[in-house]
Amino acid sequence: MDAAVTTRTKVTAIAGDGIGPEVMRATQRILAAAGATIEWEDAEAGAEVFRKGIPTGAPQETLDSIGRTGIALKGPLETPVGFGEKSANVTLRKFFEMYGNIRPVRELPGIRTPFSGRGIDMVIVRENVEDLYAGIEHMQTPGVAQCLKLISEAGCERILRLTYALAIAEGRTKVACATKANIMKMTEGLLKRVFERISPEYPGITPSHLIVDNCAHQLVIAPEQFDVLVMTNMNGDILSDLAAGLVGGLGVAPSANIGDKAAMFEAVHGSAPQIAGKGLANPTALLLSAVMMLRHIGDFAAAEKVEQAVLVTLEEGRNLTGDIAPKGQGVGTDAYVDQVIANLGRRSATVPAREYRRLDLPAWPEATHHLSPATRELAGVDVFIESGLESAALGDSLAALTDGSAFTLQSLGNRGAQVWPPSGGQTYLVDHFRGRFLLKSPPKDDAMAEIADLLQRIGRQHVWMHVEKLQRFDGKDAFAKAQGEG
């Protein structure tokens, strides 16, 4: 055991729904047999909490427990139909700002997949709180919905420094950053730019960037090429599940959520209500998540002991649960747990050992992160308008409305394509237009009066729903052009 582990560590245990209580008991039993220094504090979240009328799925008592312990081990949670509006999983991650999701993806002995023998051993790191998952959505018109994709420079730097800290802690030598920066040059491009800025600070690790769709392609062509992969939230959510499928699926996939003040380790598979209570559940995913938890708290000896026992059990192929055993040879949860416990102290003959160290993460200041540009200019505004008019009629109407105002209508867009002045394209129109209005001359102040005047003019004839300032920071445009816009 690591010298730093001298007392029992309190951990919040959230058993979860369906098979959750079974895999939690199984995991706790194995950890106790391995001598892990854990003191459990039981808490609840998920379906039963939703049914009690708590819309977040996580009661205050559970939040208080994680606030005290700073560590949680969590089984699968569900959001039953008709109860609750938010995922309890997302509630817990957001409440404690667990900004980094870590998903190891490693070929396991005895689990045959089309990729067996390729030597897959990577970690996917996913930004966990920003991006489209900020959940900021609006119906712009009755038939057009919007979701805001928010990416911050601070969020990018946090996830990237976590990624590099992980690579160092696990002795890995390559970090690949996958983005869609070729299309979303400001949002996805921000992760790429921060990656390129900080990578030189880690000279022992080789950085690379690739487009995320190519990353998906490469994951099924040559997954063994990857060591550590880092992505924005939605890209990471999708590709981490894809990667888990390469090595056996979510039933054996561990996961960690890391924040400055709390960390939660969880099985990412479902609650499997069809087998709940039957003693058939496979606890491997939660057990390997617990191994990550033990390393996080510094109990490296217990972590290695449990992990090796799991590897030996899978290697020998005796007493495996039905989902991973040869057909007709599966056993129940208890028999599998007994086999893992019997193998404590043994070492895998086929899986190379990896030396782990604790994550060395920077302490982020609690003050609001704010960047002040040297110069800030207002170029104009985008006004989003609901209209059933054809583009020519709407464009001519809006252009006429600007007569005598501080603005001129430069263009009209529909779902990102310029439709006025005509660009020659063939765009299927919906009732959601973006009018780009540029200031005729530089404003003397923030131009709020001029913007208000423009909105009043538009509002006399049309329905508008929101406005975006078109700004220039340090002399550079801080807005994108529409497809086809000059």
pLDDT at 451 over 80: yes
> What mean pLDDT do residues 29-44 have?
97
Going by pLDDT thresholds of 50, 70 and 90, the confidence category of residue 426 is confident
Q: Which residues are catalytic?
A: 133, 180, 213, 237
* pLDDT recorded at residue 484: 62
Question: Taking 70 as the threshold, does the pLDDT of residue 1 lie above it?
Answer: no
Compute the distance between CA of residue 62 and CA of residue 73 in angstroms, rounded to an integer. Answer: 12
For 343-447, where are the alpha helices, taking DSSP H only?
Answer: 391-401
Q: Determine the CATH number of domain 376-477.
A: 3.30.70.1570
Is the per-residue pLDDT at 85 higher than 80?
Answer: no
Q: How far apart are CA 139 and CA 384, in angstroms?
A: 12
E runs forming strands in 27-153? 38-43, 71-74, 100-106, 121-127, 137-141, 144-147
Mean pLDDT of 117-121: 95
The tens digit of pLDDT for each residue in 148-184 reads: 999 999 999 999 999 999 999 999 999 999 999 999 9
What integer is the mean pLDDT of 30-49? 95
Which is it for strands 228-231 and 174-179: parallel, antiparallel or unpaired?
parallel
Q: How is domain 9-342 classified at the architecture level of CATH?
A: 3-Layer(aba) Sandwich (3.40)
Any idea what the Cα angle at residue 202 is, between residues 198 and 203, rounded to 5°?
Answer: 125
Question: Quick check: pTM over 0.75?
Answer: yes
pLDDT for residue 5: 46
Q: 198-256: per-residue pLDDT in tens? A: 999 999 999 999 999 999 999 999 999 999 999 999 999 999 999 999 999 999 999 99
- The string of pLDDT tens digits covering residues 40-72 is 999 999 998 998 889 889 999 999 999 999 999
Q: What is the pLDDT of residue 261?
A: 93
How far CA 215 is from CA of 156, 162, 209, 220, in Å, comes to 19, 20, 10, 9
Question: What's 4's DSSP letter?
Answer: T
Instruction: Give me the pLDDT at residue 273, please.
Output: 93
Residues whose CB falls within 8 Å of the CB of residue 151, separated by 6 or more in sequence, listed in order: 130, 131, 186, 187, 188, 190, 191, 232
Percent of the chain as helix, strand, coil, to the nearest 5:
35, 25, 45
Q: Which residue has the higher pLDDT, 84 or 211?
A: 211
Domain boundaries, the chain: 9-342, 376-477
Is residue 177 within 8 A of residue 125, CB to CB? The reply is no
Half-sphere exposure in the Cβ direction for 72 (13 Å, CA) = 31
User: pLDDT of 273-327, one tens digit each?
Assistant: 999 999 999 999 999 999 999 999 999 999 999 999 999 999 999 999 999 998 8
Structure tokens at 59: 């009661």
**pLDDT computed for residue 87 by the predictor:** 80
State what percent of residues in the chain have pLDDT above 70.
97
Q: Is the pLDDT of residue 6 over 80?
A: no
- For the chain, what is the mean pLDDT? 94
C-alpha span between 233 and 243 (Å, rounded): 15
Residue 3's pLDDT is 47
Q: Is the pLDDT of residue 187 over 70?
A: yes
For position 365, what pLDDT does the model report?
87
The pLDDT-based confidence of 444 (bands split at 50, 70, 90) is confident
